[in-house]
Structure formats: C-alpha cells, structure tokens
Amino acid sequence: MRLHWFVPFPMKRDSDGRNGRSGSVGRFVRWLLPQSWHADPPARRPGRVRRLLSAVGITWGASPLRWIIQALCFLAFWWLFLYVCWPYTARPARTWPNWRPDEVDDREGRVTLSAEQPPTEPLPPARGCS
C-alpha cells in the first residue's frame, strides 16, 4: 500500500506541467474520469471532486482516500452493531391467565396445569415439542 494514499504531500510536476501522474494508473484514471473532475495544474485549480471533499471538511480534501475508507468502515461497523444487537425477532413470552403449574417433571419434560375456572373453549390436542 502506498503512503500517498493516506498522507497528503505535494507531488512533483512533470516536464509537461501535470502533477506526477504519468504512470499507468494515472493514465487510466485520466481516461476513466471526466475531464472536469481533474485538476487544472497550469491554473493551479483543484478538480471538482477535490473541491467537493474540501467543502465537506479541510481534512477530507487533504487525504480523501483515507477518509472515505474510514467512513465506510465506520458505517459497516454501525450496521453490524445494530444487526447483532437490535432485537428484531424478540417476542414476549406467551401467557396463560388463570392457569397455574401443579407438577413439573424434569425428566420427561411434562408440566401439569390446573385452572381456577373451567376453560370456555376446549384445549387443542397435545403437541410434542421439537
């Protein structure tokens, strides 16, 4: 990983006045992005992206790649934190009013319940727990 991705420093100018981007990566970036996004070295004006980042904050304009990576990592952390901690599937426990447990058998997992008043609806057939 190159240091100039994260730390701002002035770049040397080529003999034709461009900021030292004569390598294959620089040529690819100049070919890929619109001309209005690039800096104008003779007029010493920053490109549109650099001006936008400087409007966001002075440090964003100084080393934009580092700040973009940090912002993406922060957003990923925040999303993962909320995904793990937020109780999306939490449901309150079922309640059976007027029923009380009489006997609990730990070995077989059976619970005997009794009601103070007889139920108004018949109980559904017994189902085994899985």
Whether 77 is covered by a domain: the verdict is yes
Whether 32 is covered by a domain: the verdict is yes
Structurally, the chain folds into a number of domains equal to: 1
Do residues 57 and 68 make contact, with C-beta atoms less than 8 angstroms apart? no
CA distances from 113 to 74, 92, 98, 105 (A): 52, 21, 10, 12
User: For residue 14, what are the domain limits?
Assistant: 3-85
CA angle 112, 115, 116 (to 5 degrees): 145
Whether 116 is covered by a domain: the verdict is no
User: What is the model's pTM?
Assistant: 0.39
Torsion of CA 60, 61, 63, 66, to 10 degrees: 30
Least confident of 26-35, 58-67, 107-116: 58-67
Whether 48 is covered by a domain: the verdict is yes
Least confident of 13-17, 51-55, 60-64, 78-82: 13-17
The phi-psi region of residue 109 (left if phi > 0; otherwise alpha if psi is between -120 and 50; otherwise beta) is left
In this structure, what DSSP letter does residue 100 have?
Answer: E
Q: Does the pLDDT at position 130 exceed 50?
A: no
First to last CA, the chain: 53
CA angle 64, 66, 71 (to 5 degrees): 90
Whether 99 is covered by a domain: the verdict is no
